[in-house]
Structure 1
Amino acid sequence: MERAEIYVRNLERALGTLKVLDDRAREVVELAEAYLRDSKYYLSRGDVFTSVAAASYAEGLLDALRLLGYADFVWSRPSEIEKNYKKVLIAGTFELLHPGHISYMEQAWRLGRVVAVVSRDTNAAKIKGRSISVPAENRARVVSSIYYVHKARIGYEDDMLRVVEEERPDVVLLGANQPFDERSLAEKFRRRGIEAQILRAEPYECDLCSTTRIINKILETFCEGSRRV
């Protein structure tokens, strides 16, 4: 699985550097991008063989375009990708998934292999100040099905850093709006012997990029007169 992920990442990087030199190449580039999407889909389903096959089709198309002088791009060496391949830990409630969550996961995926920690119901309720509508087991099951997430697990109730000690990530990526102070968290890591780099995700804005907004929108649409959360 890991080798297939590196193969897909290499293809994605190549497409990211691609420059079209002849307009006749655009349709073929779109086809290569479609094969990449197929490859990522099959990889998310655990079908490594079909994923690599789809990526190979895309690779062949790109190589043909470069050979004809219709496009230019850069292939990365697998060893270069492996060298920078890190374990990245993200965390959240993930109660009702929305585009902000997907952006968070994608940003983490671009840094390496993603482990998503789903907060327990009791902890999430304390943070949000209300009961949680979707149990942790269900939330973890949904998060684990997202392509960008390699593994999802439920956190601990009494010690939020215990899961970090167990996973030993290279990077902890904080959500854009999560109320953690990086310096304070880094000091806690130091005291516990955790050497992970702490980064913060870029924000993603949309009208319903909030579970609370989604719930209130549902109440407004279907339950006239209901109290907002």
Structure 2
Amino acid sequence: MNHAAEWEAARSQVAAWREQGKTIVFTNGCFDLLHPGHIDYLGKARALGDVLIVGLNDDDSISGLKGPSRPINPLSDRKCMLAALKAVDLVVPFAEQTPLELIKTLLPDILIKGGDYTPEDIVGAKEVRDNGGHVSVITFVDGHSTTALIKRIQQLG
């Protein structure tokens, strides 16, 4: 799927935020079934700057990463739910396996990834740092994952 129009709108929005002197934070993910771990993570990411952009894997991208049974929720639903969160200022879908091209397009001030990554292993870290930005890792809340939630639902069925 081509997300060119959404990327162009995002680039314009980022330029406007930069003119206002805002610190732009970027993170990405699938966010297939929203759970408290996602909410905690996105809140912590947003607290590191003035605005939070979420790069959102599109459906084909998720299927390629997680298998043919995923995503559970289509892109339009996932985008709607993320955009409704007070921590999230902008949701931008991408079709690639990684958000590298989107990160290179938007060049956020702060790049965040959750989990057990090291900053050096985060896709787009070099590009953000080369542009004067920072890269950070936020630890996930234990006990919350989409995979675990799917398994729980399957056990109930």
Would you call these one fold, judging by a TM-score over 0.5? yes
Q: Secondary structure at the match of 1:97?
A: coil
CA gap of 1:109–1:185, structure 2 versus 1, over 3 A, is closer
Aligned length: 136
Which has the higher relative contact order, 1 or 2, with Cα contacts under 8 A spaced 6 or more apart?
Answer: 2
1:114-129 equivalent positions in 2, closer than 5 A: 114-129=52-67
CA gap of 1:150–1:93, structure 2 versus 1, over 3 A, is same
* Larger helix percent: 1
Q: Secondary structure at the match of 1:141?
A: helix
* Alpha-carbon contact 2:30-2:56 (below 8 Å) kept: yes
Inter-partner Cα distance in structure 1 for 2:90 and 2:151: 30
Q: Secondary structure at the match of 1:163?
A: helix
- What amino acid is the match of 1:160? P
CA gap of 1:174–1:191, structure 2 versus 1, over 3 A, is closer
Aligned residue number for residue 213 of structure 1: 148
Instruction: For residue 196 of structure 1, report the CA deviation from its aligned partner.
Output: 2.9
Instruction: For residue 192 of structure 1, report the CA deviation from its aligned partner.
Output: 9.9
Q: Specify every segment of 5 or more residues in structure 1 that has no aligned partner in the other structure, as ranges.
A: 1-81, 224-229
State the percentage of identical aligned residues. 23
CA gap of 1:160–1:194, structure 2 versus 1, over 3 A, is farther
Q: Secondary structure at the match of 1:103?
A: helix
Q: Secondary structure at the match of 1:104?
A: helix
Inter-partner Cα distance in structure 2 for 1:181 and 1:100: 19
Instruction: For residue 129 of structure 1, report the CA deviation from its aligned partner.
Output: 2.9
* Alpha-carbon contact 2:99-2:124 (below 8 Å) kept: no
Instruction: For residue 182 of structure 1, report the CA deviation from its aligned partner.
Output: 2.5
Output the TM-score relative to the length of structure 2: 0.74
Higher Rg: 1
Q: Secondary structure at the match of 2:27?
A: strand
